[in-house]
Structure 1
Amino acid sequence: MSFYKSFKCIAVCAVSASALFASAAVADTITLRGASMFDENHAYTKTLRQFEELVAESYDGDVEFDLRLNGELGDESDFVTFLQQGVAIDYAVMAPSNMAVFSPSIPLMDMPFLFRDLDHWNAALSSGVMAPLEDELLEKADIKIIGYTGGGVRNLASAEPVKDMADLTGHKMRVMGAPIQAQIFSAIQAAPSAIAYNEVYNAIQTGVIAGFENEAASIQNLKFYEVAPNITLTRHAITVRPIVMSGKTFRKLPEELQAAVLQAGAEAGAFGRNLESTEDGLKMQEMIDAGQITVLEFSDRDKLLEMVIPVQDAYATELGATDLLKAIREQ
């Protein structure tokens, strides 16, 4: 058994050995456990810290938070399993595509080329239009969305420059695990592969893939620029990152704490959206100024938009979500 698998077993077994609120049975303090793939400087971690502060401020009882950083509890594929099972992790920020294993429709909310710009993205996230997807996630995965953060613009990052359709054709790149991600990037002639996030750096370094797609904050935070210093401005997505809580955890909370969690989730989400959308360009510029990346425009971006619409439409039809896709587009 590998060290990583051994660690996962230890983490899950250790937590499963005691009830979620075993300590609360003998004391007044409730402890909630969170997880982040990143350090304290990343927008997602800052958003979770804001969530914690807001809950503590508005809840009259005693609540403590145990937030594990830097992927200590695995990657997001592990997070979603723990959240669904109600062990090890109570709250986190998640990419919708990483929850597709339990909720097939959820990746629609951050499908590539879905949002026209930041105004459209903000309107969709604040309108309640995502409610059907929230309901499906709770029903099928027992994971509750309590807010929305995100706001980073995702681009291609690659070992060699990708400047036009000729370079993109056959480009071996990592995408997130949801099928729609591979379908979209296959439609624009790339060669997508869904590999684990924590394997991306080595996969580029060893030539298994030639690049991936991500936002500036994560490229900087995890030093992906060391192996993929060429950033191509495809601007194919604006991140939608739900702040989520295990449904099993949420139902066990006192009603007053449930209300505090929902209010804090909404407010922390707004905080995080503003933070990440503001930081996105700054972090990109920091990497440019440090000589860590070279930024290129993609010359055929209008062509990409034409190529993906039939794939988006077919995906929504398959999910029975044609009206939802139309509603999002019309925001």
Structure 2
Amino acid sequence: MNTSVKARRRALLAGAGLALVLGAIAFPAAAQQAITLHGASQFSDDHAFTKTMVKFEELVKKYYGKPVNFVLHKNSELGLEKQYFEYMSQGKAVDYAVVSPAHMSTFSKAAPFIDAPFLFRDLGHWNKVLDADTFKPIADEIAQRADVMLIGYAGGGVRNIFSNKPASSLNDIKSLKVRVQGAPIWSRSFTAVGMAPTVIAYNEVYNAIQNGVISAGENEAAGVEQMKFNEVAPNLLMTQHAITIRPLCFSGKTFKSLPKDLQAAIVKAGKEAGAYGRQIESSEDGAKLDAMEKAGKLKRIPFADRDQMKKLVDPVIAAYAKEIGADAIYAKINGIK
């Protein structure tokens, strides 16, 4: 082999080596550009909130049409909803989650008003209120103060009181030690009807009832089933005091960092996934209670004084609405027929 051929071969090998080196450098950079979004749920695959977030993932992928990765952390792997909201506000760990409005009260006093006790007459009224985008001013406030977007509204479960002893009237629940969510409106409402409300972390409710710290809590069917509250409080007092609204939230900091077409897909998918979640939970609610009662896991107890309970709570809700500047929203809700 002559000298010129050897020189050409060395040049080709050097060029190939350089290409491999450049490829190795470029590949990780390309890999880093792949977008991954992290979601969080307190519950397993069977819960309506988890199903809502799975639907959200499916819809985003459909509308975006480009590669995007989703990682959904279930069964409280990343803590509880209160932590999820704080993480989304900070733009770390969690990008999207379904969160109770009560856990947004640190950032917005108006947030817990979204599903305050006795706010809705029935499921039909509840759906009309949501379809009218009645809570947009509150969503705007949350986006401004917490930097978290409410991109859809799930929920639809009717909340009742689960108790370790039966009760069917206001007199029966006088001084009842009941766990409530951490927003002031819940404590005020339950105090107004003569109960003794206390704020306890959601994952501590079971043990608190078991150990006699409290006697009761309040939740929708899906929560009672998932958390097995019926094991320590098998009496379900049918107060029907609230219909849940559980916003599907997205981190504003994450959202602003994403491509415009992915942002559009997220907004569209969020609204549709929320509607899907409402349909699931509202339709499953009664069926879950039927199944648990048939299996002997709980007993539904009619609550004779529900109307009187509402009369006691209504002034509290009206005063709270005025206090937080939501009286116009409250009037609009009451005006929807």
Say whether the fold is shared (TM-score over 0.5). yes
**Structure 2 residue 224 is matched with structure 1 residue 228:** no
Deviation at 1:316, TM superposition (A): 0.9
Alignment of 1:109-124 (within 5 A): 109-124=114-129
Aligned equivalents of 1:89, 1:311: Cα separation in 2: 35
Counterpart position of 2:111: 106
Counterpart position of 2:290: 285
Counterpart position of 1:163: 168
What is the SS of the residue equivalent to 1:228?
A: coil
Deviation at 1:320, TM superposition (A): 1.6
Tell which structure's C-alpha radius of gyration is larger.
Answer: 2
**Structure 2 residue 142 is matched with structure 1 residue 137:** yes
Aligned equivalents of 2:270, 2:48: Cα separation in 1: 15
**Structure 2 residue 223 is matched with structure 1 residue 218:** yes
Deviation at 1:26, TM superposition (A): 4.4
What is the SS of the residue equivalent to 2:172?
A: helix
Q: Is the CA contact (8 Å cut-off) linking 1:168 and 1:190 kept in structure 2?
A: yes
Aligned equivalents of 2:75, 2:105: Cα separation in 1: 23
**Structure 2 residue 323 is matched with structure 1 residue 318:** yes
Deviations 1:180-235 (A, max 9, x none): 01000101111000111011000000000001000001101111111110001100
Alignment of 1:176-325 (within 5 A): 176-325=181-330
The one-letter code sitting in structure 2 at the alignment partner of 1:168 is: I
Deviations 1:83-119 (A, max 9, x none): 1111110000010011111111111111000000001
Paired positions, count: 309
What is the SS of the residue equivalent to 1:168?
A: coil
Counterpart position of 2:159: 154
Deviations 1:119-168 (A, max 9, x none): 11001111111100000100111110000000000000011112111111
Aligned equivalents of 1:314, 1:296: Cα separation in 2: 31
Aligned equivalents of 1:176, 1:162: Cα separation in 2: 21
Deviation at 1:62, TM superposition (A): 1.2
Q: Is the CA contact (8 Å cut-off) linking 1:24 and 1:30 kept in structure 2?
A: no
Aligned equivalents of 1:189, 1:274: Cα separation in 2: 34
Q: Quick one: which of 70, 77, 80 aligns to 2:85?
A: 80
What is the SS of the residue equivalent to 2:145?
A: helix
Aligned equivalents of 1:227, 1:50: Cα separation in 2: 33
What is the SS of the residue equivalent to 1:87?
A: coil
Aligned equivalents of 1:97, 1:85: Cα separation in 2: 18
Q: Is the CA contact (8 Å cut-off) linking 2:160 and 2:241 kept in structure 1?
A: yes
TM normalised by structure 1 equals: 0.92
Deviation at 1:61, TM superposition (A): 2.1
Deviation at 1:24, TM superposition (A): 8.1
The one-letter code sitting in structure 2 at the alignment partner of 1:115 is: F
Aligned equivalents of 1:208, 1:55: Cα separation in 2: 44
**Structure 2 residue 36 is matched with structure 1 residue 31:** yes
Aligned equivalents of 1:76, 1:27: Cα separation in 2: 29
Q: Is the CA contact (8 Å cut-off) linking 1:28 and 1:62 kept in structure 2?
A: no
What is the SS of the residue equivalent to 2:171?
A: helix
Q: Is the CA contact (8 Å cut-off) linking 1:148 and 1:269 kept in structure 2?
A: yes
Q: Quick one: which of 39, 46, 50 aligns to 2:51?
A: 46
Counterpart position of 1:10: none
Alignment of 1:90-105 (within 5 A): 90-105=95-110
Q: Is the CA contact (8 Å cut-off) linking 1:150 and 1:273 kept in structure 2?
A: yes
Aligned equivalents of 1:97, 1:24: Cα separation in 2: 41
Q: Is the CA contact (8 Å cut-off) linking 1:173 and 1:193 kept in structure 2?
A: yes
TM normalised by structure 2 equals: 0.90
Aligned equivalents of 1:275, 1:56: Cα separation in 2: 21
Distance 1:202 1:25, change over 3 A: farther
Counterpart position of 2:25: none
Distance 1:261 1:24, change over 3 A: farther
Q: Is the CA contact (8 Å cut-off) linking 2:82 and 2:99 kept in structure 1?
A: no
% identical aligned pairs: 50
4+ residue runs over 4 A deviation: 23-26
